[in-house]
Amino acid sequence: MRGVFLRMNNQDQGMDVAREHGDEGEYDIGYFKENGFVRKKCKKCGSWFWTRDRDRDTCGDAPCEIYSFIGAPLFKEHSPEEIRESFLSFFELRNHTRMKRYPVVARWRDDIYLNIASIANFQPLITSGSVPPPANPLVISQPCIRLEDLHSIGKSGRHLTMFEMMGHHAFNKRGEKEIYWKNETVQYCDEFLKQLGVAEDGITYKEAPWVGGGNAGPCLEVIAGGLELATLVFMDLEAVHSNTNGDTFIRGQWYRKMETYIVDTGYGLERFVWASKGTPTVYDAIFPEVIEELLGSVGMEHPKERYYNELIEIARLSGVMNKREIAMKLQLSDDFFDNILEPLETVYAVADHTRCLAFMLADGVVPSNAKEGYLARLVIRRALRMLKSLECDMPLEELVALHIKLLRKSFPELMESVDLINEILELERRRYEETLSKGERIIRQMVMERKKGISVDTLINLYDTYGIPPEFTREVASRIKNANVNVDIDIPEDFYSRVAKMHGEAKRQEEDMALVSLKERTKTIPKTRRLYYEEPESTVFSATVLDYFDRFIVLDKTLFYPEGGGQPADTGVIRLDTDTDTGTGTGTGNELKVVDVRDVEGVILHEIDTGTDTDMDAVGIEIERGKQVSGSIDYRRRMAHTRHHSATHIVIWAARKVLGRHVWQAGAQKGELRSRLDITHFKRISDAERREIEKLANEMVMRDEDISASFVERNEAERRYGFRIYQGGVPPGKELRIVRIGADEDVQACAGTHCSKTGEVGPIKILRTERIQDGIERLWYSAGEAAVMEMQARDDLIKRSASVLRIPEDRLPETVERFFSEWKQLRKENERLRAEIAELHVSVLKAKAQEIGGIKVIAEVIPDADEKELMRIASRLSTEGFVALLLSRIEIDNRVAVVSSVPDGLELDAAMIVKRVCHVLGGGGGGTAKMARGGGERIERMGDGIAAGLELMSEQLKAKG
Ligand SMILES: [Zn+2]
Ligand SMILES: [Zn+2]
């Protein structure tokens, strides 16, 4: 699949669209006409393309043409820095604003985890037109990560997991002055290529309409030397549900023109560098130092020293034919493929993966079993496995550090994370080893149980659930194969791409139907004024009823905070009979209890307690639109939430200080008494770290810093504070409510209520931490009054414990320790004595054996024995060939314990015997045919019970004959 590097759709899809779309004049671009281009149809693939070369009859793209640039660079050699700088400054000179890169983790989006394209920075709010672009037009070089071609990395010579997409973007809106569109886009591209020195006649622009992520539009692929260097997308269509509002039909999907039309270009930085060097692979062009280092450490020389011509030939053909065909054509030996090329491809892949990890980990991804953490772990484990197959001793972290060193000029921010990355990767290696040793057991068991092969689904499940790589499964299974178990395992070539794909897209929560209908019902109601922001101190307010339905009342303004951002809704009352005109609210009756408050796209709904009835009419509430009402909130509850909310921001700030920059909020819930905060972290929080976080948090409280909240334009907020503002998720809208603590120590987009000074939060007590899932730690804490209560409760606990032991509190730990070790001693002693007593009982009981149907039976009451002892004695007796039925009266709960055991080989059923006896005793019991126990409360019937038991035994023996 060619062009995946720069495009989201696949080739066939593009081709089909091309045929449907080809003649619509979408590509009638003035620049082509004025600069001597002709439109031609590729004689090999049938695509339309534009060229200056009148004699050319193929589109220029592989597989229609070979990689002719290999060994014959398209222009003067450029380093990645040089290419990036020429691109950015070229567009800067043409009025584009140069943007800083966005993180490789898509913090501003909830539909993808990793940044996959420069346009992804501006989706969905800017591309849809609901938020203005941060600059227009703009230019950026964006590091991106795509894992769907994981299996081709190293092998294809051109795929990379992490690549820089250079893009210039113009965001046009219909009815507004156009920034620029197709003509300038093509002109810029052509001029940029010319400036680099690419021969004009060698450039083709192939028509390949683009479809992706719910959008579509015409697109030109820019090709030279057989290599696709850039993609120029003119995004102007959006998917619609049916043809009633769509006008273009592409591959089973209706599209319509968008309100916006966007220039979305992608220039592959690495491909430009590659084209300028003409090396056999893109890897040799981008990180030769890392490849050298790896080859050196495994004692291999770069095959280019001896096989340069072969490598060049293979590379040139690799876009056109597969490895087998190349081998045939070039008459290369299997040995060359197995011993020279394959290890080299693995080296390339490791070098690629470690570069990807440098960005992922430095940008804060914590390896785990979920979301972006899953993807990071996938890359780590794949790299570890490949290092092992190369028999390379070099730790992964050293290679990552080498990349960071090489990248530091362009990405100095990566340097800050070197220590953290070392720690994470060392931990991950240990976890991987543990996984493998655990995995070995699982696979062995699985293989022994099956006679047929292990399916791909099972391989995926083993990887997904236990982290066991399929190669390891095959390896372990093949070892067992020697023991004559036939297990064939085929690992699909694209195994890792498949798992990556399964985890690549965030699952959007299905909007529930109730919310959809609420949105429909409230869409014409004006948005509610939020008094809880304007006057956070107030507890009462008056307002006008705008609407009411079901159990909901909508007011023009309100003090009631609606549930959101992990903060529960306010509760309180709304009074209907307030006559504000005369100021003579009667205050009698008609007080409506507000039990929940919801924000439906800016309209705040107060849910009224109507008991079991579904609406207000049913309970006779008389309400009318336009009526003045008053409301009051439960202020104590609100203050407790407010304190806990501000405490949450303080705790995450402190956690980041103590644990590292990678700490990111993974969830939070505020309460009145305690709150919890989930953070990403790669190991358990130690006691010392927990104390340090608590100390820092309380220092922040004592410093009494300002907490301020204000609405800031979205782009401005992102520019000023970065993406850390999205800790609690990504709120919609043009403006964000930004909550800042102190000198911007913590800054978050947050809709919650907050104290105005950190001092108002009061003491913060971290109660405990727990690991809720791999890579996520949960902190429980209380703030303000609740923290004082927690501390008092703990104090109480100590006091009560000390008074039980009758010692001063400060001697509690040592005393408890002493008691505990003494207790353990005594327990051992107790066990020994009980065993002795049981032995005594056994010898006494053996003398009392009676015979029933030729079997030796002991049916006795043993005074002072507990159930455990009865069982011990019974099992000793049955090993000596006796059937035992033992009863004992348990003094403390005034009941009878019953135990029965049957020696091996006898046809009696202990469970049935016990059931029969217990029935007589007015109780029940059960167990196995060999050993059973039970009990009952009718102490006076112990004798009858034994008799019933003996009777059953003879019945059972008779039945068996
Ligand atoms: Zn073609
Ligand atoms: Zn918040």
What is the CA(747)–ligand 2 centre distance, in A? 9
What is the CA(144)–ligand 1 centre distance, in A? 28
Edge-to-edge strands, sheet with 746-749: 707-713, 735-741, 746-749
Cβ < 5 A residues, ion ligand 1: 42, 44-45, 59, 64
Total count of residues recorded for the chain: 961
Residue 250 has pLDDT above 90, yes or no: no
Judged by DSSP in three states, 557 sits in: strand
**Per-residue pLDDT reduced to its tens digit, 891-931:** 888 899 999 999 988 888 999 999 999 999 999 999 999 99
Instruction: Kindly report whether the peptide bond that precedes residue 469 is cis, defined as omega within 30 degrees of 0.
Output: no
What is the CA(202)–ligand 1 centre distance, in A? 14
Concatenated DSSP letters of 411-467: -GGGGGGHHHHHHHHHHHHHHHHHHHHHHHHHHHHHHHH-SSPPPHHHHHHIIIII-
What is the CA(185)–ligand 2 centre distance, in A? 42
Q: How many CB atoms lie within 10 A of CB 690?
A: 20
Name the band, by pLDDT with cuts 50, 70 and 90, for residue 3: very low
Q: What is the mean pLDDT of residues 547-575?
A: 94
Q: Give the per-residue pLDDT at 34.
A: 95
Ligand nearest to the CA of 65: 1
Ligand nearest to the CA of 319: 1
**Per-residue pLDDT reduced to its tens digit, 418-442:** 999 999 999 999 999 999 988 888 8
DSSP, res 617: G
Q: What proportion of the chain, given as a percentage, has pLDDT over 70? A: 94
| Higher pLDDT among residues 614 and 394, named by residue | 394
**Per-residue pLDDT reduced to its tens digit, 327-374:** 888 888 888 888 888 899 999 999 999 999 999 999 999 999 888 999
CA atoms within 13 A on the CB side of 259: 7
Ligand nearest to the CA of 709: 2
What is the CA(360)–ligand 1 centre distance, in A? 36
Ligand nearest to the CA of 41: 1
What is the CA(284)–ligand 1 centre distance, in A? 27
What is the CA(754)–ligand 2 centre distance, in A? 8
Q: What is the mean pLDDT of residues 744-756?
A: 94
Ligand nearest to the CA of 56: 1
What is the CA(759)–ligand 2 centre distance, in A? 17
Most confident of 219-223, 462-466, 617-621, 770-774: 219-223
Residue 11 has pLDDT above 60, yes or no: no
What is the CA(727)–ligand 2 centre distance, in A? 8
DSSP, res 178: -
Q: Give the per-residue pLDDT at 492.
A: 84
Q: What is the mean pLDDT of residues 273-288?
A: 95
Cα distance between residue 791 and residue 781, in whole Å:
11
Which tokens sit at 44?
Answer: 């090999």
Closest by Cα among 164, 189, 392, 430 to 273: 164
Confidence (pTM):
0.81
**Per-residue pLDDT reduced to its tens digit, 134-184:** 999 999 999 999 998 888 899 888 999 999 999 999 999 999 999 999 999
